[in-house]
A and B are shown apart, each in its own frame.
Chain A
Amino acid sequence: MTNQNPFNESDEAARARRLRNIAMAVALVAFVILVFVVTITRLGGHVADTAHL
């Protein structure tokens, strides 16, 4: 039988942990998007520069 609560924590603590995990996931996804957007923006500028060569 699977233990539903391996940390033996209260419902409140489990809920807080779940929300912390979601917040961490959101932060990581935001970081990936940020790096992607910055790369495209910086790269786009350089591509535009070479177009004049």
Chain B
Amino acid sequence: MLKTDIPELAPAGAAIAAPARWQDYVQLMKPRVMSLVVFTALTGLLAARAPVNPVLGFVAVLCIAIGAGASGALNMWYDADIDIRMRRTKNRPVPSGRVQASDALGLGVTLALFSVTIMILAINLLAAALLAFTIVFYAVVYTMWLKRSTPQNIVIGGLAGALPPVIGWAAATGTAPLNAWLLCAIIFLWTPPHFWALSLYTTGDYAKAGVPMMPVVRGAASTRRQILIYSLILVAAAVAPAFTGLGGLLYLAVAGLGGLVFVGLAVILARSHAGDVIEDQATGLYEVKTGVKSARNLFAYSIGYLFALFAALLIEALAHLPALTL
């Protein structure tokens, strides 16, 4: 699918329904995504267990958060033609006409330059290079290319969301060792089951917008099977830090028990008929028909699962709990 001009979007200079509030510019930065990025980046920074000046540690996480905000603004600038067609995104500042697309572009470019520049000056070159790569990968590779061209869009594009703990680790130590990339791998493998579970009950929206999400292109049954496969690999990868000198007993318990539940929900979903009938009546992410509740359950649980994994690592790092040595 090619990016198209949508006549419903407010043209430059046109009168708009409501004036832009400062909160609209905050919304352009996708604050919920930013909060997850801050959390995973902070975990990477502290899990490195290196002495970090608190001020510079704060600045590093701030730069990563602002870099994520820049990616969000660039995404909203480019994807306004898609966003306006989907219930979940049609009220975003650009498609709703509250903010002009050019303003979103300006905000995104400014924040990207700001975050990378401060990262170079205040932290180190590796962290800055990883941050710049993440922003470009999300805004250009995922948003402008993959999202509209392949059902593997969120699989490959998930790398952008997976890199913040590596950036945090690099900010703390100036290096990116295997354990940092293990954290990246966990988020990378978590992305497909998370987003495909969501897309199973928003297939109608994606189809209407012309986004080739997996259920739209390959069908619901194939998507449910792939969710199960990714879930099994994810759960195995999530236990790995307990065997590489990164996670301790608490982490092992969370990854083990949480992983069992994750696989259980993925099996229930695989055996269901979720997504077989495209739903178009649901009004919200959590208001879904009975047939797709298994998809909703996995989607909701996956958020808590990822949070619990990183929270366990964060607690162990803050409490100086020892990692397992095997």
**B59 lies within 8 A of A38 (CB):** yes
DSSP class of A's interface residues: helix, strand, loop or mixed? helix
A16 and B21 contacting across the interface, CB-CB below 8 Å = yes
Digit string of A1-23 for contact with B (CB within 8 Å is 1, else 0)? Answer: 00000000110110011011011
Q: Which residues of A contact B56 (CB under 8 A)?
A: 38, 41-42
Which residues does chain A contribute within 8 Å of B118, judged by CB atoms?
Answer: 34-35, 38
Is A20 a contact of B20 with CB atoms below 8 Å?
yes
- State whether A45 and B53 are in contact (beta carbons under 8 Å apart), knowing that A34-B59, A34-B118 are contacts in the complex: yes
How many pairs of A and B residues are in contact by the CB < 8 Å rule? 38
Tell me, yes or no, whether B122 is within 8 Å of chain A by CB. Answer: yes
How far apart sit A17 and B121, CA to CA, in the bound complex (Å)? 33
Question: In the complex, A31 Cα to B53 Cα: how many Å?
Answer: 19
Q: Bound complex: CA of A51 vs CA of B225, how far in Å?
A: 63
In whole angstroms, how far apart are the Cα atoms of A17 and B18 in the complex?
A: 12
Closest A residue to B55 using CB positions: A41
Hey, what's the 0/1 contact readout for B54-94 against A, CB within 8 Å counting as 1? 01100100100000000000000000000000000000000
Kindly provide the distance from the CB of A7 to the nearest chain B CB, expressed in whole angstroms. Answer: 11
Shortest beta-carbon distance from B18 to chain A in Å: 8
Interchain CA distance A24-B130 in the complex, whole Å: 28
Whole-angstrom distance between the Cβ of A24 and the nearest chain B Cβ: 8
Q: What is the minimal beta-carbon distance from A48 to any residue of chain B, in angstroms? A: 11
Give complex CA distance A16, B55 in Å. Answer: 33
Within the complex, which residue of A9, A17, A31, A38 is in contact with B122, where a contact is CB–CB below 8 Å? A38
Given known A34-B59, A38-B56, contact A19–B121 (CB-CB < 8 A): no
**B122 with A42: CB separation less than 8 A:** yes
Q: Is B13 an interface residue, CB under 8 A from the partner? A: no
B284 at the interface (CB under 8 A from A): no
Contact A38 B20 (CB under 8 A): no
B7 within 8 A of A: no
Q: How long is the Cα–Cα vector from A23 to B53 in the complex, in angstroms? A: 29
- Residue in A closest to B16 when the chains form the complex, CB atoms: A13
* Shortest Cβ distance from B122 into A: residue: A38
User: Which listed residue (B22, B53, B55, B121) contacts A20, Cβ 8 A?
Assistant: B22
Give A38 to B271 CA distance when docked, in angstroms: 55
- Bound-state Cα–Cα, A10 to B53, Å: 49
Q: Are A16 and B20 in contact (CB under 8 A)?
A: yes
Contacting pair B22 A19 (CB below 8 A): yes
B19 CB contact (under 8 Å) in A13, A34, A41: A13
Q: Chain B residues with Cβ under 8 A from A16's Cβ?
A: 19-22
Kindly list the 5 A-B residue pairs having the minimum CB-CB distance in the complex, ordered from nearest: A23-B22, A16-B19, A13-B19, A38-B122, A41-B55
Pairs across A and B, CB under 8 Å, 19 listed: A10-B19, A16-B19, A16-B20, A16-B21, A16-B22, A19-B22, A20-B25, A23-B25, A31-B114, A34-B59, A34-B62, A34-B118, A38-B55, A38-B118, A41-B53, A41-B56, A42-B56, A42-B122, A45-B53
Known: A16-B21, A34-B118, A38-B122. 5 other contacts (CB 8 A): A16-B19, A19-B22, A23-B25, A34-B62, A38-B59
Question: Interface residues, chain A, CB within 8 Å of chain B?
Answer: 9-10, 12-13, 16-17, 19-20, 22-23, 31, 34-35, 37-38, 41-42, 45
